[in-house]
Amino acid sequence: MIRTSLIAALASLATIGFAQTYPSEFEAQRKPTFTTGGNVLIRNGRVLTITRGFLDGADVLIQNGHIVAVGKNLSAPAGIKVVDATGKFVTPGLVDAHSHRGADDINESDSISAEVRMADVLNADQPSLYFALASGITTGMLLHGSANPIGGQSIVIKHKWRHPTADLPFPGAPRMIKFALGENVKESGGQDTDPRFPATRMGVEAVYRRAFADAKDYIARWDNYRQHRSDPRIAPPRRDLRLEALAEILQGKIRVQCHSYRQDEMLMMVRLSQEYHFNLTMQHALEGYKIAPELAAAHVPVSIFGDGFAYKLEVIDSAPVASTILDKAGVLVSINTDTEGGNVPLTQDAAKAIRYGTSPERALRMITINPAIQLGVDGKVGSIEVGKDGDMAIWDGHPMSNYTKCVMTFIEGEPYFERRDAFGVNHRSLSTQTLEFKPFSVDTPLPPAGKSYLISGATVHPISGPVQLNSTVLIENGKIAAVGAKVEVTAGTVRVDGRGLHVYPGMIDAGSQLGLIEIGQVPSATDERENGDYAPDLRGANAVNPESIHFPKVRYNGITSAVVYPSAGIVSGQSGLVSTLGTTVEGMRIEGSVGLDVNVPAGLPARFRSFFPPDEIEKRESGIKERRQQLKSYFEAAKRYDEAKSANEPIATDVKLEALRPFVQGKRPVMFHAGTEDTIRWAVATAKALKLKAVIVGGEEAWKLSKTLRDSDIPVIAVPPAGECPESDEPSNEFDPYDTPMAFASVLADTGVRFAFASQGWETAMNLPYRVGRMCAFGLSHDAAMRALTLDAAKILGVDDRYGSLQPGKVANVIVTDGDPLEVTTHLRYLFIDGKPVALESHYTDLYRKYMSRVR
């Protein structure tokens, strides 16, 4: 398989010739450049011990894999490796309480599969372990899946990538088992084909009760045998591995980790644990904040997402305020990744708790000592203390800042990850040594209604020009009237105190499905996919639901307008630009059509090609060539139709071809959704041949063709890295550098390619600014990032005469913040859309008010 994949990679390189070279990363280059034998002195770091405070300029001495001293000016034993951590933060290795990394399989389909063990499917060679290390995560619990009520036995592992599999299990860690509630279980049981009990929440509870009754009977039979084993007439009971595991749950030998979403089923499981006396931790527990007092009283810990939302009906009330409410109620909270893939924004997810009122110190506990306690390994990991394992992560800035990246990771004093700067961005990446804790209030004041508003004394970021300190912005009749230090105002102007605040133009999501999808799992709540391959006359902006609960959420994070696009088939239809505020679809619509969305037929991604034989790859590729030719022929037919219509030839009107006329005339852009180097190259060549105005959307590998795109003046609407777990990022090609998903935009910027950013989502589209902020830690300048979210996006979409910057005459979409809008911990203080103040309210703020009141 390695040989096939290498041939594919070399073939890819051959296709680009010598026009552009770019960095690669092979397995040997992912190995640290030094070894320690478990003995190392980390010198002069900014040490966040977690349990014993912050030690600035301190050392950590590790010998034989264990921490032996923490303090200043420690002596280095002879011959020991010294790592200079000056100006860097040192934390314990992060602990992930819910992961699927390092396993070859995770699910069984029977209602009960307690006898299966994740320990039997470990794979230390999985790249996912490397990506965990690159994210600063050294320990994780590898769980069975959630397809059945009682799953298999989980295992706590250390991420010892490329070591013998026997080295992965965490010595002495308690045994665990996966339980699951809710829709995952119901869907697995309630399918029309091959149905299985249970298919309802009632049935799920019954599974547990029946299983525990059988387990108690099994225990009784074995107890009876042991009492009478001397009697030769008494035969031992038949050993049953499934019942044995269930019995060990009731005997306290195996702890339960229970997948859960809704509060009702969580309470059911809590009461079961009290009735049957087993050790319980709730996993996900996305509505756990609703029963925070009950969980605290029952001493049931929770491991949760930062803000995963609306991908299922049962998580419609998942909220980033959850961890804060749970923590204030006294629940032991951790934040997990639940991923089996690439780089993860775990520290970013923890920082969301800071935004909603949790101190940075307590938020950092949620990804270190708290999960270690939940996994029963806090005696060895989770904090920097003498006697614990030397599992460390070193960061180039404060670990809770969006502008920070992990630069080195140790397990038991041995380096397992050492950042390799393949893109050469370290010297110009943003980083911060401080993290300001700003008070959170759900009751943000709204300026009184008026015809004009003056924001004064603020730091103004026009985007189109230099930053202005102690400046003002005047809004009149829905437009920007003036920007500057001295602005004349008329009587009756409402004054907004901007001292200590920052003013920016509202941000633009250049590609989303806001208003088209409400809940991904519910067919009747999704309107982004139509049947058929060619539907150029469809308009996404016409199907937007103004009452979508997702619009207030994106407004809350500073997004004031968004492109919405259809996504099915080859020619999906036309994307439009809408305001994120409005009561009618017509009132929200800014531009009904900003582009034609075309999905370029694509073959197998490079990282999957090694899993298929050559003949299968060839078969798939031949089908792709045929579909691409059909697409090109479709555009050629449209051009002929347009020429005939323009010449007033007597031909019948074709609605679909009529819709294509502005695009084949080059008046509007064709949005080529293309990710791989091959698909982008085809799109560029086709656009040139047919004289189309092209934009590349997605463009994961656009950085490899940045010179071609620049010279062709083809912009890119890029998708930034994940902004929430369980999403993760790994390179599209296994030989690309590990940080490609975070660093590629810096290549586009350096080359001179015009670009904007798209969330390509709906439920977590609000995280777009933070996703872009992550890229600033990998070489993208803050100025370029903000331009891509504002003025450059407006230019690519053809609306820069009205949007994208704070300039007189433009629409007054304005955000006022208490800090950097790309930092997760920043709050919006004021929001103006079309020159009118907008209440900073969302589904999240409603939930916060309702359920925080239960714990105060």
Average pLDDT along the chain:
93
Runs of H (alpha helix) within 696-829: 706-711, 740-751, 768-776, 782-788, 791-797
- Average pLDDT value for residue range 617-630: 85
- Average pLDDT value for residue range 381-401: 98
pLDDT the model gives residue 611: 64
Instruction: Using pLDDT thresholds of 50, 70 and 90, give the confidence band for residue 4.
Output: very low
Q: Which of 539, 572, 522, 502 is nearest to 786 (CA)?
A: 502
- Average pLDDT value for residue range 553-560: 97
Greater model confidence, 410 or 193: 410
- The predicted-structure confidence for 750-774, as pLDDT tens digits, reads as follows 999 999 999 999 988 999 999 999 9
pLDDT the model gives residue 808: 98
CA-CA distances (angstroms) from residue 58 to 178, 356, 410, 544, 637? 40, 31, 17, 55, 70
| pLDDT of 193 over the 80 cut | no
Query: Which segment of 359-368, 595-604, 631-640, 739-748 scores lowest on mean pLDDT?
Result: 595-604
How far apart (Å, rounded) are the C-alpha atoms in residues 111 and 368?
33
- Average pLDDT value for residue range 563-577: 96
Domains of the chain, CATH where assigned: 94-345+359-381 (3.20.20.140), 448-505+804-839 (2.30.40.10), 507-803+840-850 (3.20.20.140)
- The predicted-structure confidence for 407-436, as pLDDT tens digits, reads as follows 999 999 999 999 999 999 999 998 888 888
User: Residue 611 corresponds to which tokens in the numbers above?
Assistant: 């899993």
| pLDDT of 544 over the 70 cut | yes
Query: Which segment of 110-119, 479-488, 610-619, 623-632 scores lowest on mean pLDDT?
Result: 610-619
> In the β-sheet with 150-158, what is the strand arrangement from edge to edge?
94-99, 137-142, 150-158, 175-180, 254-260, 280-284, 302-304, 333-335
pLDDT the model gives residue 107: 83
Instruction: Using pLDDT thresholds of 50, 70 and 90, give the confidence band for residue 800.
Output: very high
- The predicted-structure confidence for 650-679, as pLDDT tens digits, reads as follows 999 999 999 999 999 999 999 999 999 999
- Average pLDDT value for residue range 782-807: 98
> The tokens 């008010």 sit on which residue?
849
pLDDT the model gives residue 618: 76
Percent of the chain with pLDDT over 90: 82
User: Residue 22 corresponds to which tokens in the numbers above?
Assistant: 């770019």
Q: How far apart are the first and last CA of the chain?
A: 58
Instruction: Using pLDDT thresholds of 50, 70 and 90, give the confidence band for residue 547.
Output: very high
| pLDDT of 359 over the 80 cut | yes
User: Residue 285 corresponds to which tokens in the numbers above?
Assistant: 């527990």
**798 Cβ partners below 8 Å, 6+ apart?**
591, 594, 668, 669
| pLDDT of 93 over the 70 cut | yes
Instruction: Using pLDDT thresholds of 50, 70 and 90, give the confidence band for residue 524.
Output: confident
- Average pLDDT value for residue range 393-418: 98
- Average pLDDT value for residue range 775-784: 97
* Spatial contact of 378 and 461, defined as CB atoms under 8 Å apart: no
How far apart (Å, rounded) are the C-alpha atoms in residues 318 and 337?
15
- The predicted-structure confidence for 141-186, as pLDDT tens digits, reads as follows 999 999 899 999 999 999 999 999 999 999 999 999 999 998 888 8
**21 Cβ partners below 8 Å, 6+ apart?**
none
Phi, psi of 324 (to 5 degrees): -65, -45
How far apart (Å, rounded) are the C-alpha atoms in residues 797 and 198?
50
pLDDT the model gives residue 18: 36
The SS3 of residue 397 is coil
**Ranges assigned E (strand) in 314-423:** 333-335, 392-395, 406-411, 414-418
How far apart (Å, rounded) are the C-alpha atoms in residues 571 and 830?
40
N residues, the chain: 856
| pLDDT of 310 over the 80 cut | no
pLDDT the model gives residue 16: 38
The SS3 of residue 71 is strand
- Average pLDDT value for residue range 229-237: 91
- The predicted-structure confidence for 106-155, as pLDDT tens digits, reads as follows 888 789 999 999 999 999 999 999 999 999 999 999 999 998 999 999 99
- Average pLDDT value for residue range 525-537: 89
DSSP 75: P
pLDDT the model gives residue 17: 37
Q: Which of 426, 434, 380 is nearest to 405 (CA)?
A: 426
pLDDT the model gives residue 1: 34
CA–chain centroid gap for 11, Å, is 32
| pLDDT of 3 over the 50 cut | no
Instruction: Using pLDDT thresholds of 50, 70 and 90, give the confidence band for residue 192.
Output: low
How far apart (Å, rounded) are the C-alpha atoms in residues 802 and 408?
46
User: Residue 317 corresponds to which tokens in the numbers above?
Assistant: 């009330």
pLDDT the model gives residue 610: 62
Q: What is the dihedral of CA 450, 455, 461, 462, to 10 degrees?
A: 50
- Average pLDDT value for residue range 94-108: 92
Instruction: Using pLDDT thresholds of 50, 70 and 90, give the confidence band for residue 606.
Output: low
Q: Which of 281, 108, 111 is nearest to 211 (CA)?
A: 111
The SS3 of residue 262 is coil
Percent of the chain with pLDDT over 70: 96
- Average pLDDT value for residue range 296-317: 87
Rg over CA atoms, the chain = 28
**Ranges assigned E (strand) in 616-746:** 670-674, 694-698, 716-718
pLDDT the model gives residue 581: 98
